[in-house]
């Protein structure tokens, strides 16, 4: 884990500066002072102190991708807690954590998109390439368990085990998981030229996450099945 932490710390730090500097501290009180670089420095110092306390409880997953993800989940909790310690309201802290995480997640999503433009001709096939690549790494078995559903027009699968959702539930931070991790998938789908329909998440306490990815050329009805 020490190698992963060493790689991820500077990545999270850069994302924090990009997401927080000059942002308002409160949506309810827009007149509140904005974050400065000195503020972010102080927050990050608290993040690493928080993370050092959380690190022993982070599970050792079987795959590299899952170990990376749960380590980032621990950093997410540490980041959120540091914002709370700064006096930021919980909802604003989740949003700021989400925006920081998106800086990282967006970069991860660029490579699958570029490869899909080379490997596939139709919008649906390109979206399938993107989702397949992410399911090979970092969301791959055996740490992640997924069930594919047959559908000609919709890329459909259910996730029945997610180590990140399990970790956030163990920390009693389901709303943080949904707000800062799960919701990233909607923006990712748009970046990949598609749209995500999802009614259930493990993080929210459901039995599975129902991923239904569509493009402008595919249809989806109310039951989550293609036309």
- Whether the Cβ atoms of residue 117 and residue 133 lie closer than 8 Å to each other: no
List pLDDT tens digits, range 119-142. 999 999 999 999 999 999 999 999
For residue 221, the model assigns a pLDDT of 42
For residue 218, the model assigns a pLDDT of 60
CA distance 138 to 160: 16
CA distance 223 to 220: 8
pTM: 0.90
For residue 2, the model assigns a pLDDT of 77
For residue 1, the model assigns a pLDDT of 65
The pLDDT averaged over each successive group of 10 residues in the chain (227 residues) is 84 96 88 90 97 94 95 97 96 97 96 97 95 97 96 90 98 97 97 96 97 77 40
For residue 31, the model assigns a pLDDT of 73
CA distance 151 to 167: 31
CA distance 218 to 227: 8
Peptide bond between residue 89 and the one before it cis (omega within 30 degrees of 0):
no
For residue 227, the model assigns a pLDDT of 37
CA distance 189 to 54: 31
Domains defined for the chain, CATH in brackets: 2-214 (3.90.1520)
For residue 220, the model assigns a pLDDT of 43
CA distance 158 to 199: 11
């Amino acid at each position: 884990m020490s190698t992963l932490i060493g790689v991820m710390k500077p990545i999270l730090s850069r994302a924090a500066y990009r997401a927080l500097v000059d942002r308002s501290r409160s949506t309810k009180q827009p007149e509140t002072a904005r974050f400065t670089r000195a503020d972010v420095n102080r927050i990050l110092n608290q993040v690493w102190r928080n993370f050092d306390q959380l690190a022993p409880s982070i599970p050792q997953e079987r795959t590299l991708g899952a170990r990376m993800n749960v380590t980032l989940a621990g950093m997410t909790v540490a980041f959120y807690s540091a914002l709370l310690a700064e006096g930021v309201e919980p909802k604003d802290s989740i949003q700021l954590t989400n925006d920081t995480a998106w800086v990282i997640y967006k970069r991860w999503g660029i490579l699958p998109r570029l490869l899909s433009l080379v490997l596939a001709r139709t919008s649906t096939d390109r979206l399938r390439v993107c989702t397949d690549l992410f399911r090979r790494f970092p969301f791959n078995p055996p740490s992640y368990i997924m069930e594919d559903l047959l559908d000609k027009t919709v890329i459909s699968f259910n996730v029945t085990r997610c180590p990140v959702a399990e970790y956030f539930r163990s920390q009693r931070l389901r709303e943080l998981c949904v707000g800062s991790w799960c919701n990233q998938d909607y923006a990712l789908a748009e970046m990949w030229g598609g749209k995500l329909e999802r009614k259930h998440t493990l993080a929210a306490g459901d039995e599975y996450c129902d991923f239904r990815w569509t493009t402008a050329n595919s249809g989806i009805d109310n039951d989550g099945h293609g036309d």
